[in-house]
Amino acid sequence: MHIGLFNVNAGACSTPQNVVRIATLAEELGYESLWAGEHVVAPSPRVPPSPIDPTHPMLDPMVALAFIAAVTERVKIATGIVILPQRNPLVLAKQVASLDVLSGGRLLLGLGVGYLEPEFLALGVPLADRGRRSTEYLEAMRQLWNSPEPAYEGAYVAFSGVDAYPRPVQSSGPPIVIGGLSAAGYRRAVTLGNGWYGWGLTVEKTAEVLAGLVAAATTVDRPSALGRLEITVTPPQGAAIDPATAARYAELGVDRLVVNPPAAADIETVATYVRQHAPAELAL
């Protein structure tokens, strides 16, 4: 099981000095990947189910990961997740391809459909059709990455007679990791994703949602080109993971555990957490 690190673009990791410190420390310690989350805006005042206060600093994940790519050499960089229906798919496809090129093919693209209605309203994007919109956006992006003559015709995006270079370094584009804890999210991961991502999950909750993924796989077809669905899980924020707990996640079939420092931690606390949860410390 691989070990990744979440929240490298927010909280204490939202300044240039701290981003560099934590990213390079994690690479030195053997972390497999660094994950950046996204909320363009947050409800103010904070209302459920918003996961952050409106004043909580969070860098744009594409910008932060480009910065991290420039100061690291081996560690993978990942979005966990980009809220796909809030993005223009052609612009995002260009950003993704650019980031994959500049990182030397180290990008994992985590995508989700979102859930915060105030955020959608502020961005002028309907919440109700976010699932269908996201499916079209991803299909359109893959056209731009892979087709010799990109074209797409859908209800939410349509284009032809255009092209975009450079293409991503990784064949067929970066691996797509679909987030979500709903039946629709499970089906979307099975049909469209190279992997699935679950955030804030205990071992017990992971077992429950993995059963949901297995059930979803019996109701929809998975394209053979996608290969096996890779499972990525982030435990609850600030959770202390010991080797025995890491082993329990692995036994469930988790391929990547993305540990998450405490939300309100100062940078010294984050650095300590990163050292304590390094692959060697978790016997992985």
- The confidence score (pLDDT) of residue 60 equals 98
Mean pLDDT calculated for residue range 79-95: 98
Beta bridge partners of 49: none
Mean pLDDT calculated for residue range 233-250: 97
- The confidence score (pLDDT) of residue 111 equals 98
pLDDT at 264 over 90: no
Report all structural domains of the chain as residue ranges with CATH numbers, in order of start.
2-276 (3.20.20.30)
- The confidence score (pLDDT) of residue 113 equals 98
Mean pLDDT calculated for residue range 212-228: 95
**Total-model pTM:** 0.97
3-state DSSP assignment of residue 55: coil
pLDDT at 263 over 90: no
Model confidence over 152-167: pLDDT tens digits?
A: 999 999 999 999 999 9
Cα–Cα dist 204/227, whole Å: 26
User: CA distances (Å), 8 to each of 36, 52, 283, in order?
Assistant: 6, 15, 23
SS3 percent helix, strand, coil of the chain, rounded to 5, is 40, 15, 45
Model confidence over 107-125: pLDDT tens digits?
A: 999 999 999 999 999 999 9
How confident is the prediction for the chain on average, in pLDDT?
97
3-state DSSP assignment of residue 129: coil
